[in-house]
Amino acid sequence: MSHFKSKLTAFLILISFSFASCVSTKTALYDHYSYQKTTEVKVEASTLMNEATSPYLFHKKEVDALFFNIDKLVEYEKNKPNNEITFAMWKMLTDKEKNLLTAFFKRWETKEVLSPVFLEESKKQILDALDLLIQYEIKKDKESKDELLDLINRNK
């Protein structure tokens, strides 16, 4: 009987540790929808950014459509459990004051056309940030999480 009790005790301890480790992780699981939509946003943004050397008004409808899709994705990410890091990154990307995605398109609208040098430098920063977000969604590991958190913290 004591052999059974020790096995039961060991099993209960193992289950307790397993449950505790899952609860403390607090990271949303891989989400194919998030991955797919973030990848689509990256491709659409990159394509539109390439047009920033021509007048903004020629592309306003495309920019509006891009941000409509981004708004839907941000709302989805905001309401996903244990998704604070991804949501924080989207908030940063869409902050008009953070010199990333939304700020780029706002500057293009204000200036009407952007220089190729500014375009290339901005595009690299924005696409690198989106790549970090995509890698985090794919991997959900400590390294990709730390890289994303580092970028978020540097841009506070």
Residue 9 CA to chain centroid, in angstroms? 42
pLDDT in tens, the chain (156 residues): 566 566 655 555 655 555 544 444 467 788 999 999 999 999 999 999 999 999 999 999 999 999 999 999 999 999 999 999 999 999 999 998 888 999 999 999 999 999 999 999 999 999 999 999 999 999 999 999 999 999 999 988
Could you give the angle at which helices 116-139 and 84-93 cross, rounded to 10 degrees? 170
pLDDT in tens, 141-152: 999 999 999 999
Q: What is the pLDDT of residue 25?
A: 47
pLDDT in tens, 36-52: 999 999 999 999 999 99
Structure tokens at 28: 């949303």
Q: How far is residue 106's CA from residue 108's CA, in Å, rounded to a whole number?
A: 5
* 97 DSSP 8-state letter: T
pTM: 0.81
Closest CA relative to residue 85, chosen from 23, 39, 136? 136
Residue 121 CA to chain centroid, in angstroms? 20
Closest CA relative to residue 134, chosen from 50, 25, 32? 32
Q: What is the pLDDT of residue 41?
A: 98
